Structure 1
Amino acid sequence: MDNYQLESELQHLERVLGHLSAEHRLPLSYWRNRLNAVVAAQLVPSQRTRARKLDEQLRTLEARAAAVG
């Protein structure tokens, strides 16, 4: 992924994960795969920080989904 794609993907994930619930119609694994693709790329420090925050948000959602299970 080039820097433009990474930035676009981070912005999209920030918007979506901010409004996502554990019962969203797309499985959380879909969002996990998209985030993992971003994390696997070469990120600058500010992008790594943003990706870590997204990971924390998604982990919280995944924990809630498991509890509701």
Structure 2
Amino acid sequence: MNHHQLEKDIEHLEHVILRISAADRIPLSYWRNRIDSVSGAVRMPAQANRVKRLEAALSALEGRQKD
């Protein structure tokens, strides 16, 4: 994945993750897979930090879904 595509993907996930809920039509597992795929392509510390924040936000949603 090239740098520009990776940035676009991270930006998109940052936009979406803040707006989704466990009750959305698209399951949280889809977003987990998207974050995991981006995480594997990260090469810069700033990108890694952004992905970690995304993972934390999604983990919080997943935790609320289990409750």
User: Per the shorter chain, which TM-score range?
Assistant: over 0.9
Q: Structure 2 regions of 5+ residues with no counterpart? A: none
Provide TM-score, normalisation by structure 2: 0.95
Cα separation, 2, equivalents of 1:20 and 1:3: 26
CA contact 2:17–2:57 (8 Å) conserved in 1: yes
Aligned partner of 2:6: which letter? L
Q: Structure 1 regions of 5+ residues with no counterpart? A: none
**Residue deviations 1:10-58, cap 9 Å, x none?**
0000000010111111000000000000011132010000000000000
CA contact 2:22–2:28 (8 Å) conserved in 1: yes
| Root-mean-square deviation over aligned CA pairs | 0.7
1:54 corresponds to 2:65: no
Percent sequence identity over matched residues?
43
Partner of residue 31, structure 2: 31
Partner of residue 63, structure 1: 63
Provide TM-score, normalisation by structure 1: 0.93
